[in-house]
Structure 1
Amino acid sequence: MRSLSLPPFRSVLMVSTACVALAACDDNFNLSPLNLDADLRGLGGGFNTTAAAQNLADRPRPDDRGVISYPNYQVVVAERGETVRQIAGRLNLDANALAAFNGVDADVALRRDEIVALPSRVAEPSPATGAVTTGPIQPPTVNVTTLASDAIDRAGEQTRTPAATQPSPQTGAEPGLHRVARGETAFQIARLYDVPVAALAEWNGLGSDLTVREGQQLLIPVAGATPPSPAATTAPGEGSSTPTPPSARAPLPAAVATPAAAAPTPPVPAPDLGTPSTPATSAPFIYPVTGTIIRAYNPGRNEGIDIGVPAGTSVKAAAAGTVAAITQNTNGAQIVVIRHTGNILTVYVNVDELTVAKDDSVSQGQAIAKVSSGDPSFLHFEVRDGLESVDPADFLP
């Protein structure tokens, strides 16, 4: 049997699109604390944002107008419920042009912290607008004056008295600005730039469902400052004096008579708790289809199992639950997510001819769809605890 190789985006979208839809169906889902591997590190051919996740900068603070200014563009951070028309009014911009530039209607209420890119520059931030200094955020540069002064000091020459200290201009790397194309998702964009999707959401005020719209402008998070190097360690005894042992600083306490050994306490008999109860079943789920596993569970590369079966095979619910989401990826592959008790989810990908709808209650073994055609045809099946993938074998007989 030949090995299965999924297209890069398809393997990502199988899970990510379903998770986005799932978050949208439950207001209690909150991706910001990362109760899941939200950026799907490692999925789809070695994609890994671990390094980026460890050292990302916070989004710069806007001025009192909500403006963040960079050398090549400016953006506004929206207040909750604010519209593009209101933003345009206070910045003296054309509302329709501003709305078209961001792919949104001028009178649609925006989310708190949503980014609105400006098609033309407005007055630069300054102390008058609530900024510490005047001008856009500049990339860090080498201070030639400081280097020259250090060189003079090393040469033993007299240095000049420094001028009065001025507020340092705000510095930082300029983020990329991405315009969302038709069909793109937040997960795809995060993967494209190798940043965690949670950071992308935080920088751009995305909702818990991570929805983005065609034409929307997104800031791409940038790396933060390099963390300080750990302090150098010296060899034992170098650079420090040997501490005086406590016994040399104070006399030993007076001897105390040793009490007689207490009689051993007889062992307490263990209480009779009876025979431990056995769960009704150690494998409460059933296989959604009967076939050959052509691709096993491999965290970071395959978040479920692929079961090879003929196209048109009936797909059954692995356990009783509620249909939490029905969606599809950009390749048109249908995705069904079922929520079960204990915060467990099952995900079924590469299906069509669905017989269930969102919010339907399903019983174990109930037919929910059929396997789509393919070469080979197969069902991709996942089990998730919350949104964290787990090995389906732990739930199957």
Structure 2
Amino acid sequence: MTTVLPFSSRTPSARLRLVMAVAGVALVSACTGGTGMGNMDWDLRTNGGGTADEARQATAARPVPDANGVLSYPGYQLVQARRGDTVASVAGRLGVNPSELARANALEVTDPLREGELLLLPSRVSAAPQPVAGATGTGPVDITAVATGALDRVEVTPLPAAPGGGKEPARHVVKRGETAFTIARAYNVSAKSLAEWNGLSADMAIREGQTLIIPVATAPAPNPEPVPAAPGSGSATPPPPSAAKPLPDEKTQPAAEKTKETPPSPDMSKERTSATKLAMPVSGSIIRGYDKKKNQGIDISAAAGTAVKAADAGTVAAITKDTDQVQIVVIRHANNLLTVYAGVDGLKVKKGDSVSRGQTIGAVRGGANPFLHFEVRKGVDSLDPMPFLQ
């Protein structure tokens, strides 16, 4: 039986908040009808949720590599993979050790690479010679360029400047449980910019140990929220009532006398509202409650194989997995309400299916202490599931 790593043992940033971000990619793509990166709602603003563009820093254009696909910065170098490349073919082209290149990027030597993918170089390589203006293939050899290339192979200082004379991008090594969206938010840059700079695929997939470069900001993030004025400022203080002036005469009516014309009481039932009530997704006891910072849902203990049911009618918006291969199902309900079910096996639904309240969508995954993690979200904000279940 497979042992599942409990959510409570992960770091706060690695819990279901990051899983929801991954599910959000598929969810947004499903809602917008897009099949590629160009159609995604990168800031998760579908139906009014998420963060607006104004809350992210503007970033520079993606840096352009040299003829060998190498991006050189003072502190490190990266290489951009070509179509059909493997780790071994890139290492052979640049003259670096294949095993060291693979180890630096959490890959195997024989792993195929996606066109445009960036790899961190374990050691510096010489930059590709730049063409000389007006030179032809039959002209004299540029002795200066040849000498410079030879020196690059044995000398690492002085280090080359960043491409275009810009600022050197920060590096981020992907940790277990992180996603492209959580990393972009941590550095206050857009997920689209992060994907473009690192040549990520349409599903924004990243791997543990991968090195990402963070887009360089060209301006600080603006503050879209107006600064509230100090209490009492901007308005005149009304004069207090004077005790010297007597109050006007008031005609009172004895309490025993009924008012001649009593207006009819309004029918408040027409304006009554009620919160959406959800059904328990699985039969079991709650072993861990909701905490906005530490656990953005509840954990329900249940025997492996126990049926997991949809909390309400809706549409399956996303089916994905986290870095521990724990399966997650996201269902969209009315009023932009989402329910998230993590740790589900034996799926009986697929993305795009309509489900009814109480319909079985799968079963609790096996493990040493099997449980279902259940979340309720409004847009991308987590809510305490208990008021919805009681």
Q: Which range, TM-score by smaller chain? A: 0.5 to 0.7
| Distance change (3 Å), C-alpha of 1:309 and 1:105 | closer
The answer on 1:30 being equivalent to 2:23 is no
Rounded to whole Å, the distance in 2 between the matches of 1:289 and 1:307 is 11
Amino acid at match of 2:83: R
Rounded to whole Å, the distance in 2 between the matches of 1:65 and 1:39 is 39
* Residue aligning to 2:175: 181
The answer on 1:56 being equivalent to 2:59 is yes
| Distance change (3 Å), C-alpha of 1:23 and 1:346 | same
The answer on 1:364 being equivalent to 2:319 is no
The answer on 1:79 being equivalent to 2:78 is no
Rounded to whole Å, the distance in 1 between the matches of 2:361 and 2:90 is 47
Bigger mean CA deviation after superposition, 191-200 or 67-76: 191-200
**Cα-Cα RMSD:** 5.3
**103, 119, 123: which one aligns with 1:120:** 123
Percent identity, aligned pairs only, is: 36
Shift of 1:309: 9.1
**TM-score normalised by length of structure 2:** 0.54
Bigger mean CA deviation after superposition, 215-224 or 67-76: 215-224
* Residue aligning to 1:13: 18
Q: Please state whether the residue corresponding to 2:84 is helix, strand or coil.
A: coil
Rounded to whole Å, the distance in 1 between the matches of 2:217 and 2:84 is 30
Q: Please state whether the residue corresponding to 1:188 is helix, strand or coil.
A: helix
* Residue aligning to 1:261: none
The answer on 1:193 being equivalent to 2:187 is yes
Q: Please state whether the residue corresponding to 2:88 is helix, strand or coil.
A: helix
Rounded to whole Å, the distance in 1 between the matches of 2:216 and 2:159 is 17
* Residue aligning to 2:114: 111
Rounded to whole Å, the distance in 2 between the matches of 1:310 and 1:108 is 39
Q: Tell me, yes or no, if the aligned pair for 1:58 and 1:224 is still in contact at 8 Å.
A: no
Q: Please state whether the residue corresponding to 1:170 is helix, strand or coil.
A: helix
**74, 97, 100: which one aligns with 2:100:** 97
**366, 377, 380: which one aligns with 2:375:** 380
**194, 197, 208: which one aligns with 1:203:** 197
**TM-score normalised by length of structure 1:** 0.53
Shift of 1:288: 4.5
Rounded to whole Å, the distance in 1 between the matches of 2:113 and 2:377 is 35
Amino acid at match of 2:376: F
Bigger mean CA deviation after superposition, 308-317 or 183-192: 308-317
Number of aligned pairs? 286
Q: Tell me, yes or no, if the aligned pair for 1:309 and 1:378 is still in contact at 8 Å.
A: yes
Q: Please state whether the residue corresponding to 2:56 is helix, strand or coil.
A: helix
Rounded to whole Å, the distance in 2 between the matches of 1:64 and 1:39 is 39
Q: Please state whether the residue corresponding to 1:108 is helix, strand or coil.
A: coil
Q: Please state whether the residue corresponding to 1:127 is helix, strand or coil.
A: coil
Rounded to whole Å, the distance in 2 between the matches of 1:97 and 1:378 is 39
Question: Structure 2: which 5+ residue stretches go unaligned?
Answer: 1-10, 134-144, 149-157, 222-273, 282-288, 366-371
Bigger mean CA deviation after superposition, 206-215 or 189-198: 189-198
Shift of 1:202: 1.1
| Distance change (3 Å), C-alpha of 1:7 and 1:56 | same
Question: Structure 1: which 5+ residue stretches go unaligned?
Answer: 1-5, 140-168, 228-282, 296-300
